[in-house]
Amino acid sequence: MSKDVRVIANWKMHKTIDEAIDFVQGLRGLIQLTYIAMPSTILYAVSQKKPPMVTLGAQNIYFESQGPFTGEVSAEMVKDAGAEFVILGHSERRMIFHEDNSLIHKKIKHALHAGLQVILCVGETLSEREAKTTADVLKKQVLECLLELTDEELSQITLAYEPIWAIGSGSPATAQMAQETHAMLRALISEQWGAQIAENLYIIYGGSTKPNNVQELVEQKDIDGVLVGAASLDIDTFMQIIQNAGKINS
């Protein structure tokens, strides 16, 4: 089965309502689905003005629907505001906000239960790669975060391989290095959930994706798309990424 390349923007803590509406209206001519994860504060306003090919997502949720959890938002709340997916397990949440695999697992279960798709991020540090422990680190993250998920639940997951040393560094993984890691992740999913689920699963790459490296990345057999941080903030740069990623489909 050949898949359409999936391009997902991760805006992190950027953009006001007006800036975001300007941006998505600039994507009006798009003919392929494009995903943007944005701050929850702007989701609703953007959802009222976005073109149909743009799908909105959140960047975090808590694992309860409501209650005394000051400062948190629930899956139901971001969905109500227009989100169709949520990014979970991003390395910034793991490192700055001390989220571990067990917390991420609870968030994944809750997000799926509420009807959100999930982009699960996994990735190793530079010292883990240098110590040749990348496979072990990723295996632990994947198996603990996706613990006992059903086949049906797995179909709502996109796995994002984001080597931490490549995020925001300007030094992406080479296409070959990313492909090797993606192949390893797909083999791991196949072992646990079977070959068909592994084949259908989107495994996307993130970390310093730019217009000039996206095509080579998505040409790799096991790289089904990209999760784009810094380069998704400027509309012209992001459009170039979408176009260059799309070349492989044509």
Q: Which residues are catalytic?
A: 90, 162
Interface with ligand PGA, residue 244, by CB under 6 A: no
Q: Name which of residues 131 to 150 contact ligand PGA (CB under 6 A).
A: none
In sequence order, what DSSP letters do the residues of 2-47 get, joined into one string?
--PPEEEEE--S---HHHHHHHHHTTTT--S-EEEE--HHHHHHHH
Residue the block writes with tokens 């409501």: 66
For 170-201, b/e burial (b = at least 16 CB within 10 A) is: eebbebeebbbbbeebbebbeebbeeebbeeb
Helical axes 134-145 vs 101-113, angle rounded to 10°: 40
Judged by CB under 6 A, the number of residues near ligand PGA is: 13
Angle, alpha carbons 188-167-21 (nearest 5°): 105
**Span 2-31, contacts to ligand PGA by CB under 6 A:** 10
Q: Does 242 bind ligand PGA (CB under 6 A)?
A: no
Report the site for ligand PGA in 192-211 (rule: CB under 6 A).
206-209
- Packing angle between helix 40-47 and helix 17-25, nearest 10 degrees? 50
- The answer to the question of residue 227 lying near ligand PGA (CB under 6 A) is yes
- CA–CA separation, 32 and 15 (whole Å): 23
CB of 14 to ligand PGA, least distance (A): 11
Measured CA to CA, the distance from residue 142 to residue 188 in angstroms comes to 9
Judged by CB under 6 A, which of 230, 235, 239, 248 binds ligand PGA?
A: 230
Closest CB to ligand PGA among residues 38, 193? 38
Name the minimum Å distance from CB 241 to ligand PGA: 10
Q: Which residue's CB comes closest to ligand PGA? A: 229
The verdict on 229 binding ligand PGA (CB under 6 A) reads: yes
- What's the closest the beta carbon of residue 1 comes to ligand PGA, in angstroms? 26
Closer to ligand PGA by Cβ: residue 217 or 228:
228
* Residues lying near ligand PGA in the complex (CB under 6 A): 10, 162, 167-168, 206-209, 227-231
